[in-house]
Amino acid sequence: MKFFADTAEIEDIKKLQESGLLDGITTNPSLIAKSGRDFKEVIKEICGIVPGPVSAEVASTDFDTMIKEADVLRKLADNVVVKLPLTVDGLKACKVLTSEGTKTNVTLCFSANQALLAAKVGATYISPFIGRLDDINLEGMQLIRDIRQIYDNYAFSTEILAASIRTPNHITEAALAGADVATIPPAVIFKLADHPLTKSGLEQFVKDWKGTGQSIL
């Protein structure tokens, strides 16, 4: 499974990139607003740090303006992925951009039928929102399983990008369900390495080593 960080915070991105755990980045208007910076400047800076895909979302909702915005976004850097809403206009824009060789991420997916439409228009990624479905007492992970089955049935190349991830358990479950990518808040990525038995075991190893009076160096 590939790991994308769902953030526009430059310091977190640098730290993750240095760790070797990062395969790409997703952003959205809310994350950009939180950064308080110019949208295009942020995207260009992120693309300079991360060589993998960086999703940059259009801000409009009509087809014509989406295409104009997408043209600006894809010129920011070679690794920009244009992020589009899962609407009829968004799907239409996805078809046009895909036919031109631009990578796309269709976002705000909440049903298997929506994911099927995105695959039919050639989306590079589909972003089903797990956490938001869980919030309304629906099983978000079942959506991942349903999409995986449908895509496998027809050999669609669209990658399943599990989004709206809230906990480390979400990542385990998404991996078991066959998601190709998980886009994850940086804090959750760092939590993946934590385990109380790892911590206590390491403390014991360090203590025992000190007791030998030896040094490797």
Catalytic residues: 83
H helices of 121-167, in order, are 130-135, 140-154
- How, if at all, do strands 125-128 and 2-6 pair? unpaired
**145 contacts: CB under 8 Å, gap ≥ 6:** 177, 178
Residues 6+ apart with CB under 8 A from 92: 63, 121
What's the rounded Cα separation, in Å, for the pair 83 and 125? 9
CA distance 198 to 162: 28
Structure tokens at 142: 């079942």
Contact at 8 Å (CB) between 127 and 165? no
